[in-house]
Amino acid sequence: AELGEQDELWVRFRHQHIQSVNQEVQEEIKRFVKENATAQIQKQEGQGPTLQAIRSLPQYQEMLAKYWVHASLTEQSFAQLQERNLMNVGILEQDLACGVDKDGKEVSASKLLTMLSNHLSDANAEVDDKLRLLLLYFTQMTGLSPSDRTKLMEAAQLSLTSEETVQKFLSLQLHQENVDTEAGTSRLAHRLERDKDRRKFFKRRAKNAAYELSRFEPFVKTLMEVIFQPR
C-alpha cells in the first residue's frame, strides 16, 4: 500500500495527532475484523464459505492491508520516540515555547538552562534535536551574551556546518536583545516575562490541551481565529 490521495485512511488521518491515530486505527481494525463477513466465516470451523464471502475476500485483504500499514507506521513512530528520547525533548520544547510546564506553572530560567544542558551533553542525543533545542532556546530567552551562546554550542559539540546554521539563524535577529532595560543589567529570563497575557494564555492551554506535547499554539492561530470569528 502507498500513502496518497487514493488511501482513504491517509486522507482521514494525516492531520491528526499520532496518539489519536494510533487509537483510532487499532479500534477500526478490531471493528473491521469483527464485522467483516469473511473474518466471521474464517473463525467458524465446519462451515463452508458462502459465495458472498468469497467475493468479499479480495476487498477484505486490501482494506486490512491498509489498516496494518498505518498501524505499522504508528508503531515505528512510537519506537523512534523511545529510541531518541523524544518525549523528554518534546517536554523541554514545550516548556521553552510556553514559559510554563505541563501543570501551568512558570518554569525558571535556571531550570530551563539545566534541562537544556542535560540534553546537549547527552552523547546519545541526535544532532538535529540538539540544534533545534538551541535555536528555540536562543529565541525564547533574553539575557544571553554571545559568550553564553558559544558555551552552549560547545557543550552540544556541533559540527562546523551546524554552528554556521546557528550563526546564520542569529543574523536574522529573531531573538530579543540581551539587556534587561528595566533592571539596567543583563539578566537571563524567558521573553514571556514581559508578556503577561501570553503567559496566562499558555497557563490555560496547559490545563486544557489534549496532549502534553501539544500545548504550544502560535500567535498567528489566535490572530486568524479573531479575524474569521463570525460577527
Q: What is the pLDDT of residues 58-69, one digit of tens each?
A: 667 777 788 888
* Contacts of residue 143, Cβ cutoff 8 Å, sequence gap at least 6: 109, 178, 179, 180, 186, 187, 188, 189
Segment 193-206 mean pLDDT: 92
How much is the pLDDT for 182? 46
Percent of the chain with pLDDT over 90: 43
pLDDT bucket at 44, cuts 50 / 70 / 90: low
- Residue 50 pLDDT greater than 50, yes or no: no
Residue with cell 534541562: 115
DSSP string, 25-38: HHHHHHHHHHH-HH
How much is the pLDDT for 109? 94
Domains of the chain by start residue, with CATH: 8-84 (no CATH), 86-174+189-228 (1.25.40.60)
Tell me the whole-structure pTM to 2 decimals. 0.78
